[in-house]
Chain A
């Protein structure tokens, strides 16, 4: 910054002022280019710090707010605060709208607010054009306003010097300011193309200017409060003393303007540029949520004091819009005045730079480039190098936008009407709000609705506010203003449908937004969106949920070789090749040509849209790829695919459960088989042993008998007896085996007849008493329930009972062995439980005891070969019943169940059932 001059004269030399400005601008150039250089080298992370981000947001405070706020306060009291309160509310409520907006903007590489709207509504260029035109028509007068304020501030300084003629020529000043700003914006705004429309140099310069204008206003404010007035208390008293009846807060305007400025902070193209496009990190928004309101707070803190002091001190009739500048000058504070001048200069230039950059991006991406592409396509000519084209177009657009601003300024001649243009522009850009909110929160919002809404709103804004603002007979004739269009009274611009109580601004805001929203909603209700629109809608609205595989490309028909040239034209040769190579690598391929998958096209389109906007990028790819754009059927296919996959996975789950069940069964069966195999081996060795023992003794004793010379008859008889016994034992063993075999194959002849169960049990007990007859075995039974008439093979059943009772006598380990026999009848079946008080059968053996050849002990008691229970079970199965082991009865407990009346067919069926079981 140039140092303040020491001269105590009332005014400064015009030349010095110009020199100061030039010095300041050179400083900005230096800052911006240093920032660009740092960013290019990848260092200076602080360039992208939240502080810089917050400061860059201050482009909201233009010269209109820097100078104009004081004038506004002098005229209307506190109402100037509404312009800052709306943005404050939006920023402290960042979680609701801004967070989503910024995230969507960054992930879709949105280049401007027109691009945002066009991308959301099916990458429609028509919408892009509409929004661009609206923004340009609202933005150009606003730029003119900034030029005016700079020119005005120059003339304030140079009022009495020799260079008055030069300084008084405001058009001359405005022209050079516009030219200089165009140069600056072109230099730092269009340096290169593929930077996702982010401009570190511009942002840095804006941040510096933000600090300058804040310091300037604070300095003037501190001067007014503590040096001119006697501190805060004094200033409050002066405020009340100076208060005018017009300073009453008007409820309608107060509320309406807060809402309007809240909308504007989101929708103004330059605000969208710094808030969304230049944003690099969500975290920055968290800082800005309180830091930006704080900045606004400080900017407006001294507005009213300056206004009051100005009203008091300055001569009658001086322009309150210039108090910030004229107050220090009037009091001989040239240095302070210069600082304040630089503050105003900063506010104006930063706004012009960002606004023209944002507008130029829109104009080039949505109007010039698409037109040019269309013309080329019509001539069937190659598109050539797009990079240079887009950059040139953008440079030209910046010059054009600033040129428009300048021309606008010259034509309106810096009239007082220009001062009102700030709020008028706010109402203009507010027309973007309904489709923007729809884009963020309403999936059903459609392109037709958005286009209709914005168009209707813009037309109403033009007719009721923008055109009349020039004054009667400039564009709208006084007659139209007085009597309405075509003489229809209800079409009077300032009172449509006879709404006369609202002031023109609120009147226009009310009607334009109402009809805009109405058209938007109706259009969305009645139209059917294209598939891309629906994909984009889901992508935008559900940005935090990361929706499934929604995409706008399918079955692409192009070759990578066709796409590479197109990409190179926009990104540049090396950059394009690098991108292709990286994508190929991502697919696991070598070289520069990746497979053309929908995912690849998606990434490529995103990359290109960072340079030329979503609509143009999509159109260019569509031209090359053909019309392989997603269709409604594809969308539904994707949805049903997902559903199918879910169903399939449910089926798989069920199947795998079934499989694991089967595996468990198989494992059990396998374990059983292994145990059986071990048993069989054990049995074979045992059976041969069993067979061999009697055979050996038979052979030995028969040999002794053969040499029977010196043997008494008694001895002979004894030996013969032994041989006989052993043969019987052998026979019994073989009988058992044969019996089992017969039973297993169902060839047994059953001798079915009536019998009394009690008799059978009596007989069994008597028969088993011979086993280990020395053991005293107590048997407890209830004879009454045993009185059941049964029809079955009594002999076989008795055999089973005897076997169980004998086993108990043999194996029951107890000092006082007992046996309880209980009989029950249930559902035509008889159940007989034999429970002893021994140790029972260990758990791991329970499954095996009914198998053939199984023995609990190795002891060869009673000469059994482990066939007894196996035979019992076969018998019971043949009798249509079963024998089971019941665990947990305080000893071994066998339950024998059989039908009361055995029918021959049942008996015949049993073996088949058993075969089936074995097959399982």
Chain B
């Protein structure tokens, strides 16, 4: 913030008519999702921000109490559209924890691979959206095309492109089809080659550096204090990754590298996503190599009549945006007694916004949101 504009703002603050409200979303090209900020502005400078959440409220948590255990699996992926798999896995893991069952190893590996693929799609979407927020549409189009290749694989495996509804308590719904692994390897090779191009167009672009450097700085302590997770937390220098610290699925068998960077500004977060993208490809390769043979599903009887014993469990999954947590309480019936969802975008989208957006120019709001990978649906769960 340079001094003169700030002084002008100071003078104008005394004038009642100088402050005006600007609705940044839900109907705004720079906003991804049904969410908005009501910005109180002077000129182009924000003085106060009010998150305008609730446009996407479908009452997920309450709705889940009305449905059978297995029916909820068709509902949970809708909490995060770009990265739906972590929701399914977290919900299923919580049920398995309450029931005290261990799923077959092959199922664990298939879950891991789909989770990492889902992470790839989400990262591609996130990097593209960050580029688009800065006005650079070229990587967005290329990344969307590449994301489609992964969606093809999902379609082949699960029958659906976006909402896979693939994990069920006790494992996954079907085994990998023939020829699927070869195709996955080919797509990974392609993505690795493309990564160099992404670097050239997006991450080495001098104007991208100019725009993102120093934007939305989060200190190491602040990141923990606000409850940021995932790449945002690691970009501020905190070595925390659910995949390593509290392994689920098959991550205990894999060698997950936790990447941390000091810096904590938008540029660091963008680069963090870029590095983790590369790591994710390596991780899928690793999982494919170690994949055991065997069953993909425990026989739990008719799942429609599934009764989960009395108890409660919290399961967490490292999604592309941070930690997705499901706290599930069962009273021994056919339906959950209570499900509480912890979404990764809530701390950044609601709380950090109050700290960062005031005194920011309107130019940076979209880029700030893109760098923090804010995905509004999980604010409104």
The answer to whether A and B come from one shared complex is no
